[in-house]
Amino acid sequence: MDQKELKRLVGQAALAYVKPGEILGVGTGSTVDCFIDALKESGIEVPACVSSSVRSTKKLQDYGFRVLDLNEVDRISVYVDGADEIDPQFCMIKGGGGALTREKIVAMVSDTFVCIADESKKVQVLGAFPLPIEVIPMAVRAVSREIEKLGGHPVLRDFTTDNGNKILDVHGWQLADARAWEEKLNQIVGVVTVGLFARRGADVLLLGTQEGVKTMLA
């Protein structure tokens, strides 16, 4: 099976976690696109979704799903999203698609985070995938200098986030203590969101492998 097929399989598997009649949190990315396709085909009754990006909102609305602003919702039972890397503690690097800030916010208010990923995303130590950091535009150079002091090599992405900010993709870090890194990087003034999901990692991992979908619990 190729990567695309593995993404399709985990997107399908995530349907088992959708609670009919409850508001659903929906992430962003090509794996989540497969999940949205499967959700549409399943016919499961979802009263509304909260989405983590303009991209996912558009796809959901095109399929006829109602999408609510998070300010209209107090609680989400299940949030389904992908990852760029996930470690054995279910800490993740996210933000390859640039939606890290809204993803982190929706994840925060969700009871259960279901991560859907193909097996290439499972790593022992986070960091081979460059860490996305969303930054206030005027602070790009200042934040870059702080990152360099910590041994990272920031590369400015040619992209503006849904929130009007910029993204630095940071190469060269091995993020063994992901939680400590998340806290340290959060302290840099000008940083909006660090694409490390350690304090709020995944609760369930649906991993697409050549042997089928493996379900792992945190």
Binding site for ligand 5RP (CB under 6 A): 27-31, 81-84, 94-100, 103
Q: Least separation, in Å, of the C-beta of 33 and ligand 5RP?
A: 8
Three-class secondary structure of residue 40 per DSSP: helix
Q: Least separation, in Å, of the C-beta of 150 and ligand 5RP?
A: 22
Whether 101 and 192 have beta carbons less than 8 Å apart is answered as yes
Q: Least separation, in Å, of the C-beta of 100 and ligand 5RP?
A: 5
Q: What's the order of all strands across the beta sheet hosting 85-86? A: 85-86, 92-93, 196-197
- Altogether, the residues listed in the chain come to a count of 218
Whole-number Å distance between alpha carbons of 210 and 5: 10
Assigned token pair, 72: 């209209």
Assigned token pair, 97: 């698609």
Nearer to ligand 5RP, 25 or 27 (CB): 27
Q: Provide the strand spans (E) within 47-165.
A: 49-51, 76-81, 85-86, 92-93, 110-118, 131-135, 153-156
Q: Terminus-to-terminus CA distance in the chain, angstroms?
A: 26
Q: Least separation, in Å, of the C-beta of 106 and ligand 5RP?
A: 11
Nearer to ligand 5RP, 142 or 216 (CB): 216
Nearer to ligand 5RP, 148 or 181 (CB): 181
Nearer to ligand 5RP, 23 or 99 (CB): 99
Catalytic option among 72, 85, 103, 211: 103
Is 72 catalytic? The answer is no
Q: What is the set of active-site residues?
A: 103
